[in-house]
Amino acid sequence: MRSLTVFRYLAIPALALLISEPTRAQVQSRSGPPIGGVITGRVRDARTNSPVVGSVVELQSDAGDTVQQTIVAAGGRFEFRDVQPVRYYLVARASGYRPSNRIQVDLTFMPQQTADISLQSDPGSTGSTTQPTIGLNTLAVPAKAQREFAKAQESMSKEPNPAAAIEHLQQAIHIYPNYVEAYHLLGTLYMDERKWADSENMLRHATELNDHFAPSYFALGALLNQQHKPNEAIKTIEKGLKFEPNSWTGHVELCRSYFALNDVPNAKEHALRAHVLRPDSPVVHISLADVYLAEGDYARARTEYEHFLEKAPQSSLAPKVRDKIKDLDALGHSVDKAPPQ
C-alpha cells in the first residue's frame, strides 16, 4: 500500500526554492535503494493460508518498543527498509484475529531477512492487546471489504488509476464502516487529488478509529501544513513521532512546519534528524538546502542542491534546482567559497 505525505517548502527571502512534489510515503519510503537492513514477509490466515490484507505488522525492539509499523499490502506482503543491523521482533495484528507470537528477526549478520506470519482467527478479538493498533473493531473485516481494499491497491500499482482506487475504497467503507486502513488510504488519495476537505475528513476519521498508527498522523500533518496551519500540524506530527520516532518523513514534515513559523533552528534540527535516518533521500537534501539557505550558508545550500540532482536527476523539480544553483553562482557563492558574514 502506498500512503502519502506531501512536502512543500515555503519561501525564503530572495533565494527561496518553491517546490511541490507530492509523494506517497508509507511507514518508510519505498523509493530508492535500501541503505540499511530490509525485512520482508507475508501475513496469512493460519487456517485458509489466504493473505490478511490490511493487517498491521509492528517491528519491535528487544525491549518490546515499537520501532516501525506498516499496513500489509495486497497479497499479504509487508516490508521494512533501512533498519539498523540488530535483532528485532515482528508482531502482526488484525481485526478478527489473535495477535501473532513475537517472531525474532536478526539482521546482525544477514541484513536482509524474510519472515512469514500466520494469524489465528478470533472473531471476538479487537486485534490489539494493551493498545489499539488497527481500530476498536469487534468484528472481523468482511472478506468482501478486504477484496475491495486489495483492488484499490492494485489500481495504484504499475499504471496508477486513482479514480478506480477511490471507488474501491469507498465500496470497502460502505461494506465495513469501521475499516481504518481504507479511511487512511482514501485520505491520502484525496490529498493527491487536492481534495483537501475530503482528505482531512478521511484522515481524521482514521485517527479517531486508530489513535496509535503513525502514518495517519503524518499524512494529516502534511495536510494541515498545506492549509497553512503549522502549529496544529506540529502537534499532529508529534503524535505520530511518539509511536514512530524514527520516521524520516515525519521529521521532514516537521521541518516544513517550523519553516512556516520562521523557526529555522527547529527546522534545522528536524532536517538533520531526517538526514541521519535517510541520507539518500532527495527530499531530505532539499530540506537541508532550504535550511542552509535561510541561515545564509550558501555553500552548503548549493552542495545539498547538487546532492539532490545526483539522487534525482529526472525529477520534475530538477529544472528548478538547477535554476537555484545558477542563482547562487550568479551571486558568487560556490561550494569553494565561504558564506558571507
Say how far residue 76 (Cα) sits from the centre of its chain. Answer: 19
Average the pLDDT over each of 119-128, 195-204, 232-241, 286-295 and give the range with the smallest value: 119-128
Structural domain span for residue 48: 8-330
Edge-to-edge order in the sheet of strand 112-119: 77-83, 37-45, 112-119
More confident residue, 181 or 129: 181
Say which residues have a Cβ less than 8 Å from residue 221's Cβ, sequence separation at least 6. 233, 234, 236, 237, 240, 250, 253, 254, 257
In whole angstroms, what is the distance from residue 91 CA to residue 276 CA? 26
Average the pLDDT over each of 44-58, 175-189, 212-226, 264-278 and give the range with the smallest value: 44-58
In whole angstroms, what is the distance from residue 338 CA to residue 221 CA? 36
Q: Is the pLDDT assigned to residue 300 strictly greater than 90?
A: yes
Say which residues have a Cβ less than 8 Å from residue 276's Cβ, sequence separation at least 6. none
In this prediction, residue 98 carries a pLDDT of 82
Number of domains in the chain: 1
* Alpha-carbon dihedral sign for residues 230, 232, 233, 234: positive
State which of 37-46, 293-302, 332-341 shows the largest mean pLDDT.
Answer: 293-302
Q: Is the pLDDT assigned to residue 107 strictly greater than 60?
A: yes
- Average model confidence (pLDDT) for the chain? 78
Query: Cβ of 48: how many Cβ atoms within 10 Å?
Result: 10
In this prediction, residue 157 carries a pLDDT of 64
Which of the four pLDDT bands, split at 50, 70 and 90, describes residue 68? confident
What backbone phi and psi angles, to 5 degrees, belong to 280? Answer: -95, 5
The proportion of the chain whose per-residue pLDDT surpasses 90, expressed as a percent, equals 34
Paired residues of 68 in beta bridges: 59
Q: Is the pTM of this model over 0.85?
A: no
Domain-located, residue 336: no
Which CATH number goes with the domain that contains 259?
1.25.40.10
Q: Is the pLDDT assigned to residue 3 strictly greater than 50?
A: no
Domain-located, residue 338: no
The proportion of the chain whose per-residue pLDDT surpasses 70, expressed as a percent, equals 78
Average the pLDDT over each of 61-65, 140-144, 189-193, 264-268 and give the range with the smallest value: 61-65
Domain-located, residue 340: no
DSSP helix/strand/coil, 107: coil
How far, CA to CA in Å, does 296 sit from each of 11, 181, 187, 322? 14, 43, 38, 19
